Amino acid sequence: MRGTVQTKGSHAASLGSSLAAWNVYASLKISHAGSVRMSTKDAAPDSATAPAPNKLGLGLLVALVVGSIIGSGIFGLPQNMAAGAGAGAILIGWTVTGIGMLLLVRVYQMLSLRKPELNNGVYAYARALSGEYVGFNSAWGYWVSAWIGNVGYLVAAFGALGYFFPMFGTGNSPAAILGASVVLWVIHFLVLRGIQGAAVLNAVITLAKVVPLLLFIALVAMAFQIETFRLDFWGGAELGSVLDQVKSTMLVTVWVFIGIEGASVYSARARKREDVGRATVIGFLICLLLLMSVSLLSLGVFNQPTLADLKNPSMAGVLENAVGTWGAVLIYVGLIVSVGGGFLAWMLLAAESLFTPAGGGVMPSWLGKQNAKAVPANALWLTNGMVQLFLVLTLFSEASYLALISLSTAMILVPYLFSAAYGLTLSWRGEGVSEARHRSDMPIAALATVYCVWLLYAAGFKYLLLSALLYAPGVLLYAWAKRQRQERVFTAWEWAILAALVALASVAAVLLAQGKLGL
């Protein structure tokens, strides 16, 4: 979970400070609903396939999924959920989102079995569905939102350290940026020593960050009061109708599940292809239990209005009320560990989202180079160079950083739709496996597609319009890659996509400059 969005009514509310910025993340793509099949070069190229010693087993893949989902957002989840809904609506929201995301998880599992030759699913499924430029945009958007999210992780970590050491402030003081820069490059050089070692380290950190969450759940369960939970069960009038509350709550629950595609992104490095789907399902179920427990149990300690007024990380306020000051200290320490693990997981995912497409010819070839340890070194340098640049930016223009974070929020919804639509296409054609063994694939993919369309509606067109601003510059990198291969840059359909993207970005820029499109 890269983070959550505070909500009021039916849409995400504003971000109030740099510490609150850790609550947001995502990634977008634009697709043509045709059925362009992948050519031989789209399958995992040699340059994008890890040597056997660096293959990842089921346990490490599960840790990658859990590590990418459970980041900083869960620590603000009680307040984020209560800000827009009462206990009844929250229960409905979790039920609908749990079923919807499980359908999407099942689609990723199905695709990993039907198309085992497609590596880095977020990129490969979009490309297989709608062509090279759409696949590029999928990878580009995922990468942009990944490193922007990692800037937020570092700000969050040092903001939490500010609880103990005031010189770090809310995470964007000079001391905090210096400390964050040191952490960034220490982890960078650790990853350069090998993906296997980095994945093992991520697994250890993932286990460490789950411990305070389990302690929170156990301690708050003992302090849980059913009378408090039942109070204003359907929320007050100021929260709007139950439908509005559910809609708002579902947006938050979707944000906290960003990262379910982690194993799919790293599929080229899986020891067994079937482990990709298994890791996705296991990681999802672990995170669902943790997230639901944290948000629902908190409503038995504080009523909805009180919980909605807590400052983030709101888990600290809940546990402090239940057991005393040491509870808040535990949560702040847990936040620091959790953010560290999430940062490492997303550093790996960000580099891989450039590396695999470079092997497929839609990113410049130098991004497909590996070092002697089979690490995509150039992709890693570019990723962390951008993180460093924007860390410095937070010193001088916090507003600009927060604006970028806001723009990235809804971007994950469209690639999820692409994956579901590709799964529906394959099951309709009967490609990949015997339909007699997988009769449920088509209804599952169809329902997942409907769910993703609903999410786009719930998020609102504004966020998709704003996200176009992050996609238009990517065309320069795509054109570079195509020229390197001496290939035609765009087909007629891709020219139409580019024109639409530039038009949306231009409209968004004008409206934003005029103050008519608020963030």
What is the pLDDT, as a whole number, of residue 86?
Answer: 92
What is the pLDDT, as a whole number, of residue 8?
Answer: 32
Contacts of 491 by beta carbon, 8 Å cutoff, 6+ apart: 131, 133
Residue 53 domain-assigned (yes or no): yes
The token pair at 224 is 């849980």
Domain at 156, CATH number: 1.20.1740.10
Cβ atoms within 10 Å of 371's Cβ, excluding its own: 13
Q: Where are the alpha helices (DSSP H) in 231-324?
A: 242-256, 262-265, 274-298, 304-308, 314-323
Q: What span, in angstroms and rounded, lies between the C-alpha atoms of 172 and 187? A: 20
**Mean pLDDT by 10-residue block, N- to C-terminus, for the chain (519 residues)?**
40 30 29 33 40 70 84 86 91 90 89 84 89 91 85 85 89 90 92 76 81 94 94 84 84 76 76 84 92 94 92 91 93 87 82 89 92 89 94 76 61 82 90 65 93 80 80 92 91 92 90 78
Is residue 473 exposed (0-12), middle (13-18) or buried (19+ Cβ within 10 Å)?
A: exposed
Q: What span, in angstroms and rounded, lies between the C-alpha atoms of 477 and 400? A: 23
What is the pLDDT, as a whole number, of residue 41?
Answer: 38
Does residue 283 contact residue 66 with C-beta atoms inside 8 Å? Answer: yes
Residue 456 domain-assigned (yes or no): yes
Contacts of 82 by beta carbon, 8 Å cutoff, 6+ apart: 90, 298, 299, 302, 304, 307, 308
Residue 25 domain-assigned (yes or no): yes
270 φ/ψ angles, rounded to the nearest 5 degrees: -75, 140
Cis link prior to 313 (omega < 30° from 0)?
A: yes
- pTM of the prediction? 0.78
Q: What span, in angstroms and rounded, lies between the C-alpha atoms of 286 and 58? A: 14
H or E stretch covering 390: helix 377-396
Distances in Å between the Cα of 501 and the Cα atoms of 25, 403, 417, 471 are: 21, 19, 18, 7
What is the pLDDT, as a whole number, of residue 20?
Answer: 31
The token pair at 257 is 């599940």
Distances in Å between the Cα of 441 and the Cα atoms of 122, 282, 392, 394 are: 19, 19, 47, 46
Query: How many domains are contained in the chain?
Result: 1
Residue 286 domain-assigned (yes or no): yes
What is the pLDDT, as a whole number, of residue 205?
Answer: 81
Does residue 157 contact residue 305 with C-beta atoms inside 8 Å? Answer: no
Residue 515 domain-assigned (yes or no): no
Residue 325 domain-assigned (yes or no): yes
H or E stretch covering 11: strand 11-12
Q: What span, in angstroms and rounded, lies between the C-alpha atoms of 506 and 324? A: 52
Residue 475 domain-assigned (yes or no): no
The type of residue at 109 is: Q
Q: CA torsion angle for 173, 174, 180, 183 (degrees, to 10)?
A: -150
Residue 19 domain-assigned (yes or no): yes
The parent domain of residue 428 ranges over 7-127+142-357+372-461
User: Interhelix angle for 132-161 vs 121-130, to 10°?
Assistant: 150
Measured in whole angstroms, the distance separating CA 39 from the mean position of its chain's CA atoms is 29
What is the pLDDT, as a whole number, of residue 477?
Answer: 94
Does residue 315 contact residue 294 with C-beta atoms inside 8 Å? Answer: yes
The type of residue at 427 is: S
What is the pLDDT, as a whole number, of residue 440?
Answer: 82
